[in-house]
Amino acid sequence: MRALIDLQKKLVPDLLQVMQKRYAILHSVKNLQPIGRRGLAENTKLTERFVRGEIDFLNEQGLIDITTKGMLITNEGILILEQLTQFMNEIMGLNVLEKQLRETLQIKDVIVVPGNSDEHDWVKQELGKACVAYLKRVVTDDSSIAVTGGTTMAAVASVMTPLERAANYLFVPARGGIGEKVENQANTIAAEMARKSNGEYRLLYVPDPISETSYQSIINEPSINEVLQLIKGASVVLHGIGDALTMASRRKTPESILTDLQKKKAVSEAFGYYFDQDGTVVHKVRTVGIQLEDLETIEYVITVAGGKSKGQAIASYFKQGKSDLLITDEAAAMEILRDYSL
């Protein structure tokens, strides 16, 4: 729906304005009914002639009845008005949220989709769709796209379609894998995205996390080094944000470190870095793949995360992390703004 609105803004810029105008008139008729044309004109500060044109139209469409008593809204008019109210609230409200988040987080762009990923799976799908639409805009020939794992990234993969304006693009995982939930692994997700979008992919067969000793030896492996160069040279990085403790236990973090994360009040995790509420890195695991400092040289860093329960994790990441675009949902957006106002 957001995509359709943006499309219409390009193609028929005044469409939304006309729609809003007719909504306002319909709304006034409902509130003031029965009301005559002149009363309505005076009330809405519009000219009589203009109001007349609009009410003639609305009458033809069956949304109002014109009587000698004055104009009345029809049942269908009420229904349309309700739907329109919902829709207007949605668009307007989301635009306000986006603006607030852009300013609060100091990032270039924010896309907010309606709903709460914690409650409805379709919201995650909408996050995914918004992300795919953005990729279609920024991915060019020979681009590399590094993607992390996670359920939100899996949702992006599930709605992926061909990026028609680019050729020869390549998906790579942003980090290695662990032994759990193969469908949420960066490797699996990269492969799925590539398959669905008719792109190429390379995989990274490295355990994550990895010990310092193994790290030093494994990054010298030619096959690993080759993929790693592609990963570090990606023009687009697509990542989610996890809840710190959830991610830590998912990644089989030792008990002592789990306790440490709790003590240090770790809130979020991304790329193997754990952030507290103020965005301070309180722990880092050794990973093969994208490091936090690599993001500075990435052309487009896209963060996709939603759900009310993720709000604070997202807020904590953004106090430190680099991102060009946040794609989130309404519930998380509210929570982020709440966090920043504390």
Partner DNA sequence: CCATGCGGGACTTTATTTGACCCATATGAA
Partner DNA sequence: TTCATATGGGTCAAATAAAGTCCCGCATGG
Interacting residues with a copy of itself (CB under 8 A): 1, 3-5, 7-8, 10-15, 18-19, 22-23, 61, 63, 75, 78-80, 82-84, 87, 120-122, 125-126, 133, 136-137, 158-159, 164-165
Q: Identify the residue among 2, 52, 265, 322 touching DNA (CB under 7 A).
A: 52
Residue 15 CB, nearest approach to a copy of itself (Å): 4
Residues 107 and 110: their CA atoms lie apart, in Å, by 8
Q: Which is nearer to a copy of itself, 64 or 145 (CB)?
A: 64
Residue 72 CB, nearest approach to DNA (Å): 9
Q: Return the one option of a copy of itself, DNA, none that residue 167 interacts with (CB less than 5 to 8 A, by type).
A: none
Give the bridge partners for 113, in sequence order: 329
Q: Which is nearer to DNA, 57 or 165 (CB)?
A: 57
How is residue 111 annotated by DSSP?
E
Q: Does 289 bind DNA (CB under 7 A)?
A: no
Q: Which is nearer to DNA, 71 or 332 (CB)?
A: 71
Could you give the angle at the alpha carbon of 198 between the alpha carbons of 301 and 146, nearest 5°? 25
Question: Minimal CA–CA distance to 90: which of 333, 338, 340, 339?
Answer: 333
Q: Return the one option of a copy of itself, DNA, none that residue 102 interacts with (CB less than 5 to 8 A, by type).
A: none
Residue 217 CB, nearest approach to DNA (Å): 59
Stretch that binds DNA, among 5-13, 69-77, 275-283, 330-338 (CB under 7 A): 69-77
Site for DNA in 5-44 (CB under 7 A): 35-39
Q: Which is nearer to a copy of itself, 6 or 278 (CB)?
A: 6
Q: Identify the residue among 7, 9, 69, 262 touching DNA (CB under 7 A).
A: 69
Q: Where are the beta strands (DSSP E) in the chain?
A: 64-67, 70-73, 109-113, 144-147, 170-173, 200-201, 236-239, 242-243, 266-270, 273-276, 281-284, 300-304, 325-329
Q: 15-32 and 48-60 helices cross at what angle (nearest 10)?
A: 90
Residue 56 CB, nearest approach to DNA (Å): 7
Residue 250 CB, nearest approach to a copy of itself (Å): 22
How is residue 209 annotated by DSSP?
S
Pairing of strands 64-67, 70-73: antiparallel
Stretch that binds DNA, among 60-68, 104-112, 153-161, 258-266 (CB under 7 A): 60-68
What are the angstrom distances between the C-alpha of 223 and each of 45, 196, 206, 208, 328? 71, 25, 11, 17, 36
Q: Does 66 bind DNA (CB under 7 A)?
A: yes
Residue 14 CB, nearest approach to DNA (Å): 9
Residues 255 and 253: their CA atoms lie apart, in Å, by 6
Which two three-digit tokens encode residue 117?
Answer: 């990923």
Residue 167 CB, nearest approach to DNA (Å): 25
Residue 121 CB, nearest approach to a copy of itself (Å): 4
Q: How many CA atoms lie within 13 A of 318 on its CB side?
A: 32
- Cβ atoms within 10 A of the Cβ of 102, count? 14
Q: Identify the residue among 16, 21, 30, 70 touching DNA (CB under 7 A).
A: 70
Which two three-digit tokens encode residue 282?
Answer: 């309180």
CA 127 to chain centre: 5
Q: Which is nearer to DNA, 42 or 142 (CB)?
A: 42
Residues of this chain that interact with DNA (CB under 7 A) are: 35-39, 47-50, 52-53, 56, 66-71
